[in-house]
Amino acid sequence: MKLVIGNKNYSSWSLRPWLALKVAGLPFDEVTHDLYRDGALAERLGYGPTGKVPVLLDAGLAIWETPAIAEYLAEIEPSLWPSERAARAVARAVCAEMHAGFTALRTHCPMNLRLRTTAEAHADVAADLVRIEALWADCRSRFGAGGDFLFGAFSHADAFFAPVATRIRSYGLSVSAPAQRYADRLLALPAFLEWEAAAALEPLQR
Ligand SMILES: N[C@@H](CCC(=O)N[C@@H](CS)C(=O)NCC(=O)O)C(=O)O
């Protein structure tokens, strides 16, 4: 498998399947794509039909859209979803919520791993954080007993929320102690640290 990804400092959607692949121990090659260079869109359109990354290339197939990539990877490594059906359904729901929502957080606090600011975030971000804290607390209390992650063991749900943990750190966003503990746990994953170390070597774009 090959995963086409954008700049590691900025590309939150690329981080998600990359983290899942790494934590699951699935072998893959990464194809790094500079989102900011001249002609980048044309290059991306060579990988997938939307001109966006990530794109997973496998067996002559190009898979675009992160949720579809996540499902493909879970068919190869089922432990990427919780094993119990109810937990799996909720894990898929929270991933869908992340994919479709939290627009204020995504717009006003874009992923920028090397950024550290204490400037006050846009007022609309607070409501997204309230929902994220509730969502994390609900998953942890109902399904998280077996480990440190939303559904106990690491799953796609954690990969989907990893960029949120980076935003909490970059923008100095204030969250509850349990939410902060969970965010810190994501940021301490060896796979995340590997991604972050590579991001530190990239030229800054903003
Ligand atoms: N809905 C897509 C979103 C992918 C996306 O927006 N990727 C960004 C990088 S994080 C991108 O390719 N941006 C380039 C552009 O929009 O032209 C997914 O789930 O994978």
CATH code, 184: 1.20.1050.10
22 and 93 housed in the same domain = no
Range of the structural domain that residue 108 is part of: 82-192
Rounded Cα distance between 164 and 59, Å, is 32
**Grouped pLDDT means (10 residues each) for the chain, 206 residues:** 98 98 98 97 97 98 98 98 98 98 98 97 97 98 98 99 98 98 98 98 94
Rounded Cα distance between 102 and 105, Å, is 6
Q: Is the CB of 104 under 6 A from ligand 1?
A: no
Contact between 26 and 1 (Cβ < 8 Å):
yes
Mutate to test the pocket of ligand 1, among 18, 36, 53 (most ligand atoms within 8 A of CB): 53
* C-beta atoms surrounding 159 within 10 Å: 30
36 and 89 housed in the same domain = no
Q: Shortest CA distance to 175 belongs to which of 129, 206, 139, 144?
A: 129
185, part of any domain: yes
Rounded Cα distance between 80 and 99, Å, is 17
CA 113 to ligand 1 center in whole angstroms: 17
72 and 86 housed in the same domain = no
**At which of 53, 78, 103 does a domain end?**
78
CA 52 to ligand 1 center in whole angstroms: 4
CA 14 to ligand 1 center in whole angstroms: 8
72 and 115 housed in the same domain = no
Distances from the Cα of 193 to the Cα of 12, 44, 129, angstroms: 15, 26, 24
Rounded Cα distance between 31 and 164, Å, is 24
The total of structural domains in the chain comes to 2
Q: Is the CB of 53 under 6 A from ligand 1?
A: yes
pTM above 0.75, yes or no: yes
pLDDT at 206: 86
Alpha carbon 56 to chain centroid, angstroms: 15
Rounded Cα distance between 26 and 202, Å, is 25
